[in-house]
Amino acid sequence: MKRRPRVDQIDLAPSLALLLGFPIPFGSLGKVIPELFFTGDDWLSRYRSLNEALFVNAVQVLEYLREYRVKAGVGLDEALLKEFFNTVQNAYQNLDAIERDSNSNDAAKLEQHKKVFR
């Protein structure tokens, strides 16, 4: 009997929202369930789909943390939040640039997507 992967309840809201085409609910701090977004006809399209979902998820959590920091007056370091956002945004922009590069083959694109996912 194959063992099913464990899924935390907190991860259902962001995953289902994106699968249904809705934005992730603002107060949802879960992470998308990778297996649900690792879809497509080939490895490259699978990683594209997964990385898109992870990017949307990361931005949503960052926005929540920023809002929480302001409203609750807690000592979340804005520089750290900004660094996190910049890291996520740079990774996504690098993927976009590689996708647009006509000299880059699918194998190179796939390697970059795998690198970002790690």
* Domain limits for position 91: 40-117
Is 21 part of any domain? no
For residue 14, tell me if it sits in a domain.
no
89 within a domain of the structure (yes/no): yes
Q: Band the pLDDT of 117: cuts 50, 70, 90.
A: low
Is 94 domain-assigned? yes
Band of residue 9 on the pLDDT scale cut at 50, 70, 90: very high
- Indicate the SS3 state at residue 61: helix
What is the distance between the alpha carbons of residues 90 and 104, in angstroms, rounded to a whole number? 19
User: pTM of this prediction?
Assistant: 0.77
In a domain, 15, yes or no: no
Of the pLDDT bands very low, low, confident and very high (cuts 50, 70, 90), residue 118 is low
Domain count for the chain, please give it.
1
pLDDT of 39-73, one tens digit each? 888 887 888 888 889 889 988 988 888 888 888 88
Q: Show the tokens assigned to 117.
A: 């996912």
